[in-house]
A and B are shown apart, each in its own frame.
Chain A
Amino acid sequence: NAGVTQTPKFQVLKTGQSMTLQCAQDMNHEYMSWYRQDPGMGLRLIHYSVGAGITDQGEVPNGYNVSRSTTEDFPLRLLSAAPSQTSVYFCASGLWGRQPQHFGDGTRLSIL
């Protein structure tokens, strides 16, 4: 049972480039979410989904897009990378009450 799998683990981008962070879960959880973690700021919700075909914005959605075509996958797209998006990104899934129960190990993203 893999849980929540994030790829890649590390990535360096140049300003203006686009990329997709992958997230997959094998627990059949309806709820999935993306967070960014910055020093001294805890985790902030970017986008979340309560099921296939349903997504919504979190606290800091600007500059990011998501889609949920299947229950298992919830990719996060950076449209045009900016240095302010340098962060550690975590994907999470949950079964109950839209609570993030299981987290991936994170993607460390640097924008130059």
Chain B
Amino acid sequence: AQSVTQLDSQVPVFEEAPVELRCNYSSSVSVYLFWYVQYPNQGLQLLLKYLSGSTLVKGINGFEAEFNKSQTSFHLRKPSVHISDTAEYFCAVSDRGTGNQFYFGTGTSLTVIP
């Protein structure tokens, strides 16, 4: 089974500063990769996904992520954060073969400081 590691459980960052949220997955087989955002008391929203093609994926709200197969990583980045980006961020992975199972990381809480 796959596993997803989000090394940072909490990331504080000042407003307008850049941020990187780290995500690593376990398997070397071909995978699909995703980032979701969860605002307080809400469900998850899809930020972006990597299925194939360009390793740099752009998503909503100015976020982007880069797929690095050799390092089995899919880090999320934003060049300048806003207060409204304060939320929980989840990385997720599914195997290309079956796609039946979908594995989430434990989440990273991003706090943007005014």
A interface with B by C-beta (< 8 Å): 4, 33, 35, 40-45, 48, 50, 56, 58-59, 90, 92, 97-106
> Of B4, B9, B32, B100, which one neighbours A56 at CB under 8 angstroms?
B100
Q: CB distance A42 to B44 under 8 Å?
A: no
Could you list 9 A-B pairs, sorted by A, with CB under 8 Å? A4-B43, A45-B101, A58-B101, A90-B43, A90-B44, A98-B102, A99-B99, A105-B42, A105-B43
Interface string of B3-44 (1 = CB under 8 A from A): 010000100000000000000000000001010000001111
Q: CB distance A103 to B101 under 8 Å?
A: no
| CA A44 to CA B90, docked complex, whole Å | 12
B46 within 8 A of A: yes
Q: CB distance A59 to B101 under 8 Å?
A: yes
Question: Known pairs A98-B99, A102-B43. 16 more at Cβ < 8 A?
Answer: A4-B43, A33-B102, A40-B106, A42-B4, A42-B104, A50-B100, A97-B32, A98-B94, A99-B32, A99-B94, A100-B44, A103-B43, A103-B44, A105-B41, A106-B42, A106-B43
